[in-house]
């Protein structure tokens, strides 16, 4: 059970054991996602559109405190460092601040940002349709600025995003990068959300990493929420 007001989520990394990891009756309105060292980040449960019987633990990075963002970026950088990436690509929108922080921690001078707002010099040949679980009815287009290609071609590329749930957004990103002849050496998320993303991203399973993981949840007759999908420990699944 959570005692936090809605705006207090994502504001602190709590010591191991602060929150009950698996109450037998189920969760009420929050879920403690755990880092590999046991530290916990309390996340709100959000009911998914539909029949109201399924929920996910939500992580909205641009509402998090700087301390939480720093903790996530540090953990993501530690996972990605052994890949020795030459350049970091950030996925909009919420992956961009994390990509910035990860690139800095890896000692890079900059990162490359993908975009969903078309600039007049963008090209259709470097674009792909994109959707996400948080905006299921809003179709977007993801673009790679053609001026960024020299920074990426022939380089070890790391893709950074905030959360993977259905996998649809990352499938679009990978399709876009393939159009440019780019195959990432790694994909690092802040959190793996459920397991629905695994099938669409099966071909990239060995490159996917994340410091946090959370299940999907099903509502019980008492109004509690029980996990319906297993989660895997860091770094992946």
pLDDT tens, 172-223?
A: 999 999 999 999 999 999 999 999 999 999 999 999 999 999 999 999 999 9
Name residue 14's beta-bridge partners.
40
**What is the tens place of the pLDDT at every residue in 46-81?**
999 988 899 999 999 999 999 999 999 999 999 999
Side-by-side strand order, sheet with 216-219: 30-34, 40-47, 54-57, 216-219, 225-227
pLDDT over threshold 70, residue 5: no
Given this model, what pLDDT does residue 135 score? 54
CATH topology of domain 6-227: Rossmann fold (3.40.50)
Average pLDDT over residues 28-56: 95
Q: E strands, 66-196, where?
A: 87-90, 112-113, 127-132, 135-143, 157-164, 186-193
- Residue 47's φ and ψ, nearest 5 degrees, are -75, 130
- Report the predicted TM-score, pTM, of the whole model to 2 decimal places: 0.91
Given this model, what pLDDT does residue 234 score? 47
pLDDT bucket at 126, cuts 50 / 70 / 90? confident
What are the domain boundaries of the chain?
Answer: 6-227
Average pLDDT over residues 130-138: 61
What are 196's two structure tokens?
């629905």
Given this model, what pLDDT does residue 41 score? 97
Helix locations, 62-122, DSSP H: 66-80, 95-105
pLDDT bucket at 4, cuts 50 / 70 / 90? low
Q: Which helix (H) or strand (E) holds 171?
A: helix 168-179
């Amino acid at each position: 059970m959570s005692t936090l007001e809605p705006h207090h989520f994502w504001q602190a990394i709590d010591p191991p054991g602060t929150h009950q990891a698996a109450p037998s009756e189920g969760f009420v309105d929050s879920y403690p996602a755990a880092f590999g060292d046991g530290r916990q980040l309390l996340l709100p449960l959000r009911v998914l559109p539909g029949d109201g019987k399924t929920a996910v633990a939500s992580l909205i990075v641009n509402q998090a405190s700087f301390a939480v963002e720093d903790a996530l970026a540090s953990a993501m950088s530690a996972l990605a460092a052994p890949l020795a990436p030459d350049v970091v690509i950030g996925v909009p929108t919420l992956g961009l601040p994390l990509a910035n922080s990860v690139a800095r921690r890896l000692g890079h001078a900059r990162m490359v940002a993908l975009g969903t707002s078309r600039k007049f010099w963008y090209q259709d040949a470097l674009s792909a349709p994109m959707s996400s679980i948080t905006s299921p009815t809003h179709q977007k287009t993801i673009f790679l600025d053609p001026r960024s290609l020299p920074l990426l071609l022939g380089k070890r590329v790391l893709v950074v995003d905030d959360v993977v749930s259905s996998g649809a957004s990352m499938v679009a990103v990978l399709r876009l990068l393939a159009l440019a002849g780019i195959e990432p050496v790694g994909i690092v998320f802040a959190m793996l959300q459920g397991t629905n993303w695994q099938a669409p991203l099966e071909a990239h399973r060995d490159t996917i990493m994340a410091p946090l993981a959370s299940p999907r949840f099903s509502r019980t007759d008492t109004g509690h929420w029980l996990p319906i999908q297993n989660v895997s420990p860091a770094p992946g699944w």
